[in-house]
């Protein structure tokens, strides 16, 4: 399956989850009604022939409404607490955010691995957290969309895994992000909370037995009996919740393991991580209560194997390494016991990375779409080299919550001195002289930046920008709009910066709605799709005949006639502004068809120019499709 098919499967599983929740709620209501009938002595009345349905109808209806209401309200409450996305889950688990200026080499290695994979995948860099108090080897990804995603790993994973193994674990988590599993997982937390809350109510009622309740013994005994019954029903709910999570999660873990191997092209990485978990005394166990999030962990966080959310660990290892035997775990454990983590971290922090070159990288347009949600080892290498080529001061500024906005603004400064002075004056008036001065410093670092490095640098600022207040982000958005209009000309890169920032802000406003399932068909937006294809063809091909050919190729891929784009506007910005929102509402399979048609259009002449690469990136960002890196621009199609 490709990216779009995985997304569609995740959405089907979400509908199945809701159906299972409704069934569980009905079962709970019926069981509680039976407890009520028993407490009222109606079973004895039934045996004696004195049972009257009319006499118990009102109590049963009231109890059923209360139980269903408690379950639904509890689920709604938990869902609302998670609306801010993955950072909330990571913080609740005791996660500590990894800042860009961290001096811990293990944390810096983690940030580098996450950032490289995000750049290679074409998604915003997720927030990075470390569960400092957890010595077991584990990790998870949480969030509704790539804009609010967070990746967390345990301290044990940082200390006990080498870089290849850590990369395998992070690649596994990126698979969950790209395949839609992450969004399903966080929704599952909210939905199942209502089922689990019944057992909590039962335990509270049982606590009355130990002094919290003062009344006659018969009343007290009745409440304790009801509490015990509700607790038992609650534990039945716990098993039901585990069954639901197991039914949804187990196959996806095998898929994520396989995707990690395909992503890194290094089966020893994730296999080595799994072997270390099996050989480690702590395994993947967490000290914090992991019942609620167990389905989203890299490896099971609890000892319970009843309705386990993860396949057996040894089976996962054998899927990747068929030659594996359990005897190998003894040697793995011995190596782990004698590791010198400090020496290893020092060696890895001093790794030399080559500087990327602007030529020689081809773009295979035929497989470009297939790498969506499944980036290749080559794309990961491009991301790694690109990140390492940036100056330390520029990386520090891009990762800084304080100065990330200035990095965005500096990328938009004009090379013309008079226009640049006008822009700087506008920044000083809006943000103050300190920001204007910082802009001048960053501008000096940016002057030597290659064009293909600019958009990835923009995406590197997003994790820091997400931590700024929404009001400041809106102010930054307005300021960017004013800066790019000063010279009365907006190029593709400037439009991309403004549009990608707008997408990020809109997604942050309401992450669950940002991942809402769109249902429009291509036939309802055929004119918008045709206009977008024609615009991309015209902007990426100087020759009129070649532009017409590229348009025909794209339209044919969508099954549209060549005259469908005849009335396309000359203003490419107007085309993007008019078409991207309705096209984002397409069904997943038809959105895939559109993206493939756009890629065919861009690659018609056998090369990908910078404007085409930037347009494809901003289009895919607006469509919520992660576009992997294509390497250098102006490159030949292989």
Same domain, 506 and 569: yes
Same domain, 125 and 204: no
Average pLDDT over all residues of the chain: 81
- Rounded Cα distance between 288 and 284, Å, is 12
**Span 604-613, mean pLDDT?**
80
- Rounded Cα distance between 320 and 306, Å, is 25
H or E element in which residue 608 lies:
strand 607-608
Same domain, 488 and 614: yes
HEC letters along 579-605:
HHHHHHCECHHHHHHHHHHHHHHHCCC
63-67, 337-341, 388-392, 481-485: the lowest-pLDDT one: 337-341
Asked if the model's pLDDT at residue 344 lies above 60, the reply is no
- Rounded Cα distance between 85 and 91, Å, is 11
Tell me which of 275, 303, 337 is where a domain ends.
Answer: 337
Q: 48: how many CB neighbours lie within 10 A of its CB?
A: 8
Same domain, 408 and 359: yes
Long-range pairs for 433-437: beta carbons < 8 A, 24 or more residues apart = 435/405, 435/406, 435/409
pTM over 0.85: no
Backbone φ and ψ for 297, nearest 5 degrees, come out as: -75, 160
| 343 located within any domain | no
Q: What is the pLDDT of residue 514?
A: 67
Q: What is the pLDDT of residue 43?
A: 57
- Rounded Cα distance between 16 and 358, Å, is 48
Q: Are 144 and 511 in contact (CB under 8 A)?
A: yes
397 closest CA partner among 351, 450, 437: 437
Tell me the pLDDT tens digit for each residue of 195-246.
Answer: 777 766 666 655 555 544 444 444 555 566 666 666 677 677 777 777 777 7
Q: What is the pLDDT of residue 350?
A: 42
Q: What is the pLDDT of residue 63?
A: 80
Q: Which residues are catalytic?
A: 173
615 closest CA partner among 554, 522, 540, 553: 540
Asked if the model's pLDDT at residue 581 lies above 60, the reply is yes
Q: Six-digit token pair at 600? A: 């065919």
Q: What is the DSSP string of 54-68?
A: HHHHHHHHHHHHHHH
**Span 371-380, mean pLDDT?**
79
What Å distances lie between residue 128 and 132, 306, 369, 481, CA to CA? 12, 31, 28, 30
Q: What pLDDT band is residue 360 in, cutting at 50, 70 and 90?
A: very low
Q: What is the pLDDT of residue 207?
A: 57
**Span 283-312, mean pLDDT?**
76
Domain containing 115 equals 87-183+254-337
Asked if the model's pLDDT at residue 307 lies above 60, the reply is yes
Same domain, 636 and 541: yes
| 249 located within any domain | no
Q: Are 119 and 125 in contact (CB under 8 A)?
A: yes
Q: What is the pLDDT of residue 129?
A: 96
Q: What pLDDT band is residue 361 in, cutting at 50, 70 and 90?
A: very low
What Å distances lie between residue 616 and 318, 387, 532, 621, CA to CA? 39, 21, 11, 8
- Rounded Cα distance between 151 and 4, Å, is 22
Asked if the model's pLDDT at residue 359 lies above 50, the reply is no
**Contacts (Cβ under 8 Å, ≥6 apart) of 25:** 68, 71, 72, 194, 195
Q: Which residues pair with 127 in a beta bridge?
A: 150
| 344 located within any domain | no
The alpha carbons of the chain give a radius of gyration, in whole angstroms, of 28
Tell me which of 244, 266, 281 is where a domain ends.
Answer: 244
Q: What is the CATH number of the domain that holds 148?
A: 3.30.2010.10
Q: What is the pLDDT of residue 339?
A: 63
Tell me the pLDDT tens digit for each residue of 242-285.
Answer: 777 777 777 788 888 888 888 888 899 999 999 999 888 777 78
User: Could you give the number of structural domains in the chain?
Assistant: 3
Asked if the model's pLDDT at residue 594 lies above 90, the reply is yes
Residue 630, CB-side half-sphere exposure with 13 Å CA sphere: 34
Q: What pLDDT band is residue 332 in, cutting at 50, 70 and 90?
A: confident
Asked if the model's pLDDT at residue 355 lies above 50, the reply is no
Same domain, 240 and 367: no
Asked if the model's pLDDT at residue 134 lies above 70, the reply is yes
Q: What is the pLDDT of residue 128?
A: 94
| 277 located within any domain | yes
Start-to-end Cα distance in the chain: 24
Same domain, 193 and 329: no
Q: What pLDDT band is residue 180 in, cutting at 50, 70 and 90?
A: confident
């Amino acid at each position: 399956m490709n990216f779009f098919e995985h997304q569609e499967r995740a959405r089907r599983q979400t509908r199945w989850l809701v159906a299972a929740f409704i069934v569980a709620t009905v079962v709970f209501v019926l069981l509680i009604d039976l407890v009520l009938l028993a407490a009222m002595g109606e079973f004895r009345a039934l045996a004696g022939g004195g049972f009257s349905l009319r006499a118990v109808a009102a109590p049963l209806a009231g109890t059923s409404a209360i139980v269903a209401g408690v379950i639904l309200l509890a689920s709604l409450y938990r869902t609302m607490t998670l609306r801010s996305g993955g950072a909330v889950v990571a913080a609740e688990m005791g996660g500590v955010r990894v800042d860009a200026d961290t001096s811990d080499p293990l944390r810096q290695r983690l940030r580098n691995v996450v950032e490289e994979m995000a750049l290679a995948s074409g998604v915003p860099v997720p927030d990075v957290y470390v569960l400092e108090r957890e010595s077991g080897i584990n990790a998870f990804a949480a969030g509704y969309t790539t804009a609010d995603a967070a990746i967390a790993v345990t301290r044990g994973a940082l200390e006990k895994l080498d870089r290849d193994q850590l990369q395998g674990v992070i690649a596994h988590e990126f698979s969950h992000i790209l395949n839609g599993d992450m969004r399903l997982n966080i929704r599952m937390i909210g939905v199942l909370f209502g089922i689990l809350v019944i057992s909590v109510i039962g335990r509270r009622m049982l606590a009355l037995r130990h002094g919290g309740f003062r009344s006659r013994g018969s009343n007290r005994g009745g409440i304790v009996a009801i509490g015990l019954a509700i607790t038992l029903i609650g534990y039945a709910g716990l098993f039901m919740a585990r069954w639901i999570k197991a039914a949804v999660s187990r196959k996806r873990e095998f898929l994520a393991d396989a995707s990690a191997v395909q992503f890194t092209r290094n089966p020893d990485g994730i296999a080595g991580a799994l072997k270390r978990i099996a050989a480690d005394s702590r395994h993947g166990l967490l000290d914090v209560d992991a019942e609620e999030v167990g389905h989203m962990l890299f490896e099971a966080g609890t000892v319970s194997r009843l309705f386990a959310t993860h396949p057996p660990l040894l089976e996962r290892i054998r899927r990747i390494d068929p030659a594996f035997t359990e005897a190998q775990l003894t040697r793995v454990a011995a190596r782990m016991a004698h590791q010198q983590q400090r020496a290893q971290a020092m060696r890895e922090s001093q790794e030399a990375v080559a500087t990327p070159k602007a030529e020689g990288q081809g773009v295979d347009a035929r497989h470009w779409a297939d790498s969506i949600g499944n980036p290749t080892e080559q794309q990961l290498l491009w991301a790694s080299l690109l990140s390492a080529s940036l100056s330390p001061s520029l990386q520090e500024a891009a990762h800084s919550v304080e100065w990330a906005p200035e990095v965005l603004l500096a990328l938009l400064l004009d090379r013309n001195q008079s226009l640049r002075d006008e822009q700087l004056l506008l920044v000083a008036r809006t943000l103050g002289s300190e920001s204007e001065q910082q802009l001048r410093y960053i501008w000096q670092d940016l002057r030597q930046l290659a064009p293909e490095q600019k958009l990835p640098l923009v995406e590197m600022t997003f994790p820091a920008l997400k931590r700024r207040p929404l009001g400041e982000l809106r102010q930054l958005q307005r300021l960017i709009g004013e800066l790019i209009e000063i010279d009365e000309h907006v190029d593709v890169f400037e439009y991309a910066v403004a549009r990608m920032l707008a997408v990020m802000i809109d997604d942050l406003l309401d992450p669950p709605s940002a991942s809402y399932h769109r249902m429009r068909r291509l036939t309802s937006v055929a004119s918008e799709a045709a206009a977008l294809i024609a615009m991309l063809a015209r902007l990426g091909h100087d020759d009129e005949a070649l532009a017409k050919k590229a348009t025909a190729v794209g339209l044919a891929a969508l099954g549209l006639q060549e005259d469908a784009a005849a009335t396309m506007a000359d203003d490419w910005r107007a085309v993007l502004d008019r078409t991207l929102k309705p096209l984002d509402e397409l069904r997943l399979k038809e959105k895939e068809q559109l993206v493939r048609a756009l890629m065919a259009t861009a690659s018609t002449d056998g090369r990908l120019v910078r404007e085409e690469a930037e347009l494809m990136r901003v289009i895919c960002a607006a469509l919520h499709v992660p576009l992997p890196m294509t390497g250098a621009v102006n490159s030949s199609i292989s």
